[in-house]
């Protein structure tokens, strides 16, 4: 599995396995399948309610801890600093691990300053190998960087052919932040798997549309965490390093960009309110 070096020197796999929306009862087997298929990055979160099952799979896999890159995320908190310390220890216990490879602020709301201060301390104490954020726009990242010592290593944001995030990618690369895509397949919206541009490119390479999308993201320097509970697709999603998209093909995919989320805006006041109230 190819890796990318984070801004603190830690190597992170460019392709990982995400467990968002996988029911807890199906998570352990899904993660075991992924690990046995060659994946070495597993992405979970406090708000996914399956950290414990991820930990069980890691333990049962028989693989060395240092060979598996584990990401988890803290949900929105109003009491940032102390709550972050507690939440981190709870995630660590559920996962059954001694350290986390990447710990993220899941949403740009609540007491993110207190959260980041706690995360910096946990990082310096060796309990986290890298810290980052998710769903932050460049202005929120700039604000965080202006007031703290450590620059986020990763920003995990919605990125797919219909929302390509060129502005964000330029900002991230200028500041040494790795962009990681969630919803790489747009959750099937806009009939993405039958899109004529993507299907033509897939046929030209003898690959699936899913593989073309993941390869397109990786070629732009964007890490990915596709999810599937179908073993054949899990294997397929990791098999993207034996072909390269041409400049002409990249230009064609660029025409698909709609410049806006297919899900919701993190700047919508009603969405901010809703996200801040769930899971309380």
List helix spans (H) across the chain: 24-36, 51-61, 80-95, 112-124, 138-147, 166-174, 196-205, 209-219, 231-238, 247-254, 269-277
Residue 70's SS3 state is: strand
CB 172 within 8 A of CB 178: yes
Provide the residue count of the chain. Answer: 280
**What is the b/e burial string over 202-213, where b = at least 16 CB atoms within 10 angstroms of the residue's CB?**
beebebbbbbbb
Cα–Cα distances (Å) from 129 to 102, 104, 137, 200, in that order, read: 6, 11, 23, 41
For 135-167, the DSSP string reads: S--HHHHHHHHHH-SSPPSEEEEE-BTTB--HH
In the block, which residue shows the tokens 């964000």? 168
Q: Which of 244, 200, 242 minimizes the C-alpha distance to 219?
A: 244
Verify whether residue 103 is a known catalytic residue. no
Q: Whole-angstrom Cα distance, residue 144 to residue 15?
A: 27
d(CA 265, CA 280): 21
Task: Answer for the pair 108, 156: CB distance below 8 angstroms, yes or no.
Answer: no
Q: Which sign does the torsion angle of CA 80, 81, 87, 88 carry?
A: positive
Contact 238, 263 (CB under 8 A): no
Residue 15 per-residue DSSP state: B
**Active site residue: 39, 48, 103, 163, which one?**
48
User: Catalytic amino acids?
Assistant: 48
């Amino acid at each position: 599995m190819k890796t990318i070096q984070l801004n603190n020197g830690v190597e992170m796999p460019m392709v990982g396995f995400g467990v968002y929306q996988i029911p807890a009862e199906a998570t352990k087997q899904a993660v075991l399948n992924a690990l046995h298929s060659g994946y070495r990055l597993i992405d979970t979160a406090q708000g996914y309610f399956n950290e414990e099952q991820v930990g069980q799979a890691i333990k049962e896999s028989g693989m060395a801890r240092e060979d598996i890159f584990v990401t988890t995320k803290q949900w929105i908190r109003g009491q940032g600093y102390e709550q972050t310390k507690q939440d981190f220890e709870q995630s660590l216990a559920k996962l059954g691990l001694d350290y986390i490879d990447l710990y993220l602020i899941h949403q740009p709301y609540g007491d993110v300053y207190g959260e980041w201060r706690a995360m910096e301390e946990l990082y310096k104490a060796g309990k986290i190998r890298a810290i980052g954020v998710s769903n932050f726009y460049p202005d929120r990242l700039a604000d965080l960087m202006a007031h703290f010592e450590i620059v986020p290593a990763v920003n995990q944001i919605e990125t797919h052919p219909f929302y390509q995030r060129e502005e964000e990618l330029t900002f991230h690369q200028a500041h040494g932040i790795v962009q990681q895509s969630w919803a790489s397949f747009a959750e099937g919206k806009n009939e993405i798997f039958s899109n004529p541009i993507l299907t033509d490119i897939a046929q030209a390479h003898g690959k699936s549309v899913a593989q073309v999308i993941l390869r397109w993201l990786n070629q732009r320097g964007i890490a990915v965490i596709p999810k599937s509970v179908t073993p054949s697709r899990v294997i397929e999603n990791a098999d993207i390093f034996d072909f390269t998209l041409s400049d002409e093909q990249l230009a064609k995919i660029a025409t698909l960009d709609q410049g806006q989320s297919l899900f919701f805006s993190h700047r919508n006041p009603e969405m901010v309110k809703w996200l801040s109230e769930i899971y309380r």
